[in-house]
Chain A
């Protein structure tokens, strides 16, 4: 349709982290929707069909991994690229994210530059 800027879903239960991510993405010209937990993230994804989902792993209710799996298993949302935000760093944890179907991950504490670059790369890949 028109060249509306991409819509990004940001799910993180920590409001402070969520706010600065939203600030950064909106500043870069994207449209942003938010969720504070896994279930809300799923509802938002099904309702708004975002162009990209940034999902924190450790959220109350469904974890980022579980949300990813549900999104990737459903034909309506399977094509939404998912970037996992994780404060965990063990290889096993990263493997779990990819096994769930995630397309990329960003380790916390990330820099604003890294966030911007990964988001941009993922949107271009689409």
Chain B
């Protein structure tokens, strides 16, 4: 081994140290570089994996979107089919009913020959049942439209007192036939913005129900009260009343009370469900309660101007100012 001394030695030592330092740096750089390379490869791999994941996610999203679009198309198609079906059914029922009704009329008016009493009686029965069937078909079709959310109101300012008077008058013969006294009380007039035809339908329904369920000798009372913002109509009867456990179901479609089923009172169980839908679409409310000691009272509350239909009001009538 050779030993160096003196200043030359110091210079050489520094040079060696410098070289060593450079080597060390080089080594460390190389090592770092290697590490970086590894890191970079890892990053690249991760990126590739992420890209693949993203592609997969996009593909899934695309597939889901396509599936949804298909499903949507199918639902729209089904909706169209249902509409077409209802239209077809209404045609298939209403045309024969038109024929039956008109031929019966010609016979009953003795336009094609005179009738003896049994013939007239039988034809009257046929006519009554035709009317019943007609109402049933109309109820079913209206109910289908309500369920689809397709019932439209044509509102206008009108006198509910007048509508009520018409309903009471047209129920007169049925009340007389049933031996039920039909009375009206409260306000004579009370105006509100409503779909006149539909509200008439609700009142017809409540009054004819009341008559149907009231035994001979009983009475049906119709009451009207108007105020600045609401109108209250109450139809009460002295019938058997509704069992406590059945009151809650009265407005359920197709629901029939045990009494109605036992006594075979005609009806579809749709009248009250339809009435409820009509009243509620006016922004009103309908309810039933048991009366003391017997009977039932139905109450309809209608806003004087239906909130939901306000813009409609101006469109159809401009009735409010």
The CA-CA distance from A110 to B100 in the complex, in Å, is 11
B35 near A: Cβ within 8 Å?
no
Inter-subunit contact A109/B94 (CB<8 Å): yes
CB neighbours of A89 from chain B (8 A): 90, 141
Given contacts A20-B106, A23-B106, contact A88 B91 (CB under 8 A): yes
Contact with A along B134-155 (1 / 0, CB 8 A): 1000000100010000101000
Interchain CB contact under 8 A, A112 and B99: no
Shortest CB distance A51–B (Å): 22
Q: Check B99–A90 contact: CB distance below 8 A.
A: no
B-contacting residues, A18-69, CB 8 Å: 20-21, 23-24, 27, 58
Q: A20-B103, A20-B106, A90-B150 are in contact. Are A110 and B91 (CB under 8 A)?
A: no
Within the complex, what minimum Cβ distance (angstroms) separates B142 from chain A?
A: 9
Question: Shortest distance in angstroms between A90's beta carbon and chain B's nearest beta carbon?
Answer: 7
Say whether A112 contacts B90, CB under 8 Å. no
* With known contacts A108-B98, A109-B94, A109-B97, A90–B106 Cβ distance under 8 A: no
CB contacts between A and B, total, < 8 Å: 58
- Residue of A16, A58, A93, A111 near B99 (CB, 8 A) is A16
Residues of B near A17 (CB, < 8 A) are 95, 98-99, 102
Question: A14 CA to B100 CA in the complex, in Å?
Answer: 13
- How many angstroms from the CA of A24 to the CA of B107 in the assembled complex? 12
Q: Given known contacts A111-B105, A112-B102, is B90 in contact with A88 (CB within 8 Å)?
A: yes
Q: Within 8 Å of chain A (Cβ to Cβ): is B21?
A: no
- Residues facing A in B73-109 (CB within 8 A) are 87, 90-91, 93-99, 101-103, 105-106
A87 within 8 A of B: yes
Q: Which residues of A contact B103 (CB under 8 A)?
A: 16, 20
* Most A-side CB within 10 Å, residue of B96, B98, B152: B98
Closest A residue by C-beta to B88: A58
CA distance A109 to B95 in the complex (A): 6
* Chain B residue nearest in CB terms to A115: B102
Instruction: List the B residue with the shortest CB-CB distance to A14.
Output: B95
Measured in the bound complex, the distance between the Cα atoms of B95 and A107 in whole Å is 10
Q: How long is the Cα–Cα vector from A58 to B93 in the complex, in angstroms?
A: 13
- The answer to whether the Cβ of A91 comes within 8 Å of any Cβ in the partner chain is yes
Chain A residues closer than 8 Å to B150, beta-carbon distance: 90
Q: Which residues of the other chain, B, contact A109 by a CB distance below 8 angstroms? A: 94-95, 97-98, 101, 134
A108 to B87, CA, bound (A): 13
Residue from B93, B102, B145 within 8 A of A20 (CB atoms)? B102
Other-chain contact of B87, A16, A27, A88, A111 (Cβ < 8 Å): A88
- Interfacial chain B residues near A115, Cβ < 8 Å: 102
Task: Say whether A111 contacts B101, CB under 8 Å.
Answer: yes
Given contacts A20-B106, A111-B101, A111-B105, contact A90 B87 (CB under 8 A): yes
What residues of A have a CB within 8 angstroms of the CB of B105 in the complex?
A: 111-112
Contact across chains for B145 and A108 when beta carbons are under 8 A apart? no
| A24 CB, nearest partner CB in chain B, Å | 7
Which partner residue on chain A sits nearest B99 by CB separation?
A16
Q: Which residues of A contact B87 (CB under 8 A)?
A: 88, 90, 93
Interface contact A91-B99, CB-CB below 8 Å: no
The complex places the Cα of A70 from the Cα of B102 at a distance, in Å, of: 30
**8 residue pairs, one from A and one from B, having the closest CB atoms:** A87-B94, A109-B97, A109-B98, A87-B91, A108-B94, A20-B102, A16-B99, A108-B98
* CB<8 Å pairs between A and B, sample of 9: A16-B96, A17-B98, A17-B102, A23-B106, A87-B95, A88-B87, A90-B145, A109-B94, A109-B95
Q: A20-B102, A87-B95, A108-B95 are known contacts; what are 9 more A-B pairs with Cβ within 8 Å?
A: A23-B111, A87-B90, A87-B91, A88-B91, A90-B145, A108-B97, A110-B101, A111-B102, A111-B105
